[in-house]
Amino acid sequence: MRFTIPLICLLPISTFCTGLLKAQENKNLAYPDEKHFKNMRQLTTGGDNAEAYFGFDNEHITFQRTNPAEGINCDQIYFGSINTPNNEKFKYTRVSTGKGRTTCAYLMPDKKHLLYASTHLAADTCPPTPDRSVIKKYVWPIYDSYDIFIADLKGKITKRLTNTKGYDAEGTISPKGDKIVFTSMRNGDLDIYTMNIDGTHVKQVTHSLGYDGGPCFSPDGKKIVWRASRPQTPEEIKEYKDLLKQGLVMPTKMEVFVANADGTDVHQVTHLGKANWAPSFAPDGKHIIFASDYEYERGFPFNLYMIATDGTGLERISHDNSFDAFPMFSPDGKKLIFSSNRNNNGGHDTNVFVCDWVD
């Protein structure tokens, strides 16, 4: 679930959409203050490309893409390898069905399947987006038609993992390859759950009122990190509940939380105000990288930051004056992948970038 709400292929459902996008090595892609970034490459060009995640092999990635100019009207999932020379092209293949809206794809440990959420059982078409001119708030839709599925790399769904009323999405897999952590509204609120890799033994791990979402495991699989809203005043609680009844959340006030994977020892990491989200662990398991707009009164731009799990040592990582988000390290800790508005000629395209990470 991302800030921008982008997608279906116009090709027949049995056909895969493939694209060839020039992978770039361009010194101007990184700013002088971005000391942790080296050899940055732009993997995608055009449209809205986000939530790119590494597989277990440090090479293959999944990401979701919207581009109405190509007939991709709401998010679909794509797959490709970043191990191409910088002067060659990044090749990506659609691995979702092309039906409905999809989100939050993650490669399975067997390297032959992936996990993602989809609304396709409700309708082949894209679900409606909120009319913000009527709601007059920045909101995300929480489609109750989202369920979590496993598919092979040819786009065939092989298993349905969730089958409960309400929203089930935002799943990621433990580095141990044994557990999935995800967000669900099965109890009437948006909480985080874990389940075995085969969908069994579902356990609720958060219990506080508010939107708990975007969870990820630590490198050793013992902890989770996520974003959360925590409405406090009667007015905030009413607003949250009223929006939730409409299948909506307002993501403009979120903080980063950490807990043990079983839900014990919950503690809030950031206390920055604004929207602090898209967190994931650094390779050392002691730091978290995330996106935030806390430095800007108007709620924009978004940049990447790193902080220790005890809330100390906040460091700004990226310095683009627009949008940097969805950071994730490769399992070996050598690379960072993220989405950004940089290098889009002043437009609104969001693209996927990858770089070597320098401590």
d(CA 82, CA 68): 25
Q: Whole-angstrom Cα distance, residue 55 to residue 77?
A: 14
> Which token pair is 284?
């050392």
Confidence of residue 137 (pLDDT cuts 50, 70, 90): confident
Average pLDDT over residues 179-184: 98
What pLDDT, on the 0 to 100 scale, is given for residue 344? Answer: 87
Q: What is the pLDDT of residue 26?
A: 47
At 17 the pLDDT is: 33
Q: Is the pLDDT of residue 160 over 80?
A: yes
pLDDT band at 12 (very low <50, low <70, confident <90, very high): very low
Please confirm whether the linkage preceding 234 is cis (ω < 30° from 0): no
> Which pLDDT score is estimated for 154?
94
Q: Flag whether pLDDT at 13 surpasses 70.
A: no
Between 227 and 133, the higher pLDDT residue: 227
- Report, as an integer, the average pLDDT of 91-99: 96
DSSP label at 7?
-
Structure token digits, residue 191: 């909480």
Helix (H, G, I), strand (E, B) or coil at 160: strand
pLDDT score of 1: 54
Nearest-CA neighbor of 220 among 263, 180, 177, 269? 177
Fold of 18-357: Neuraminidase (2.120.10)
Instruction: Provide the residue ranges of all domains of the chain, joining segments of one domain with +.
Output: 18-357
pLDDT of residue 347: 80
- Over residues 112-126, mean pLDDT: 97
- CA–chain centroid gap for 80, Å, is 17
Per cent of the chain over pLDDT 70 is 92
Name the phi and psi angles at 281, rounded to 5. Answer: -75, 145
Nearest one of 149, 150, 189, 182 to 166, comparing CA atoms: 189
Report which of residues 87 and 311 the model is more confident about: 311
The predicted structure's pLDDT at residue 10: 26
End-to-end CA distance of the chain: 29
